[in-house]
Amino acid sequence: MMLQPEPRGPLQLSAVIITRDEERHLPACLDSLRGLADEIIVVDDHSRDRTRRIAADRGARIYARHFDWSARQMNYGLEQARAPWVLIIDADERLSDELKREIRTVLLDPGEYRGFFLPRQNHVFGRWLRHGGNYPDYNAVRLFRRGCGRFQDQPIHSPLELNGRAGYLRVPLLHDSYRNLHEYYSKFNSYTSLEAEGMRRKGRRFSWTRMLGIAGGHFARRLLWQSAYLDGWPGVVYCLLGLHYDLVRFWKLRERETAMRLPARTAPAAKTELACE
C-alpha cells in the first residue's frame, strides 16, 4: 500500500475505484479527478500490468484484495474512505470539467439529499451512444454521504442501498466502454457467470418462458422503443449483444440447476487382470 500526501485542508470527497489490469483506462480516470477528490482509494485485484504503478504515481492509496464480488470490493473501499462524501467511479470512466463543477456545487449545498445519481454517456465501438437506454444512463447512485450507503451483497451490478433521498445530476459521467468485440467478450464469460450465480442465490429458477420473455423484452425495448437503431450499426450491434448476454446468463443458470440435480460422478472401477496359475 502506498499513501498519498495528506491534503492541506479538511477532506471533503473520497473517490473509490476497483481495478484489475486497467493500465489503459486508469490514467485518464485518475487525471480527471484532479482538483475534485481529496483522496483516491484504489482496491486492486492483484493486477499483472502497470495498474498499481500508475495509481501510486498519481498519489492514490492502494489496497490489494482478491476479487470475489464487485459489491464486496466496493464496500471494502468504502471502509477505507475518510471524507464525508464518497464518489464511486470505474477505471474506464472519467469526469469532465463541467461535471466536476456540478459536483462541487452540490457538495456545498446538498439540501435534503444524501446521495446523487450520475448520468452516464457510453462510448461503444467508436461512437457515443445516445439511444437504446445508453444515455442518460442513470445506472446507480454514485455520489453519497459516507456512512449513508452500502452496496447490496450480490456478485455483479450491485445497487447501492442509500439511507435517505437521492437527487439527480445533469452533466454525464463519460464511460469509455468497449472499443471492439474482443474487449466485449473478454469480460462476457465472467460477467454472465456472475449474473447466473446471482440469480441462483436469489432463488430464481430457469424457465424457457422467463428466458425468452426477458431477453426478448429487453431487446425490443432497446431496439424499438428506445430507438437504438438511431445510433447506426454500433447501436444495433450493441443491442444484439445485449440479447446474447441475456440468453447466456439464463442458460448458465439452467446449467447450474442441472448440475445440482445430477448425482456426483464416480470414476469407473479399474479392471482387474486375473493371472493364470
Read off the C-alpha cell for 80.
477505507
**Alpha-carbon distance values, 11 to 200, 201, 224, 226, 234 (Å):** 41, 39, 46, 41, 42
Cα distances (angstroms) measured from residue 88 to each of 91, 136, 201, 257, 266: 10, 18, 25, 34, 47
Check whether residue 165 and residue 186 sit in a common domain.
no
Q: Give the domain CATH number at 96.
A: 3.90.550.10
> Residue 234 sits in which domain range?
180-260
Q: What percent of the chain has pLDDT over 90?
A: 82
Model pLDDT, residue 275: 45
pLDDT beyond 80 at 51:
yes
| Cell numbers describing residue 24 | 489503459
Q: Are residues 90 and 171 in the same domain?
A: yes
pLDDT of residue 153: 86
Cis (ω within 30 of 0) for the bond into 136?
Answer: yes
Helices (H), 129-265: 181-201, 208-220, 232-261
Mean predicted confidence (pLDDT) in 48-72: 95
- Report the mean per-residue pLDDT for the chain: 91
Last residue of one domain, picked from the residues 129, 150, 177: 177
Q: Which amino acid is located at 147 in the chain?
A: G
The dihedral through the CA atoms of 95, 49, 42, 149 has a sign that is: positive
Q: What mean pLDDT comes out for the span 96-118?
A: 97
- Name the pLDDT band for 264 (thresholds 50, 70, 90): low
Phi, psi of 219 (to 5 degrees): -65, -45
Per-residue pLDDT, averaged over 24-28, amounts to 96
Query: Would the CA dihedral through 142, 145, 149, 155 be positive or negative?
Result: positive
In a shared domain, residues 169 and 189: no
Do 88 and 152 belong together in one domain?
yes
pLDDT at residue 5 in the model: 42
Query: What is the phi/psi pair of residue 250, to 5°?
Result: -70, -40
Residue 3 β-bridge partners: none
pLDDT, tens digit, 9 for 90 and up, residues 67-105: 988 899 999 999 999 999 999 999 999 999 999 999 999
Statement: residue 2 has pLDDT above 70: no
Q: What is the mean pLDDT of residues 207-233?
A: 97
Residue 83, φ and ψ in degrees, nearest 5: -80, 160
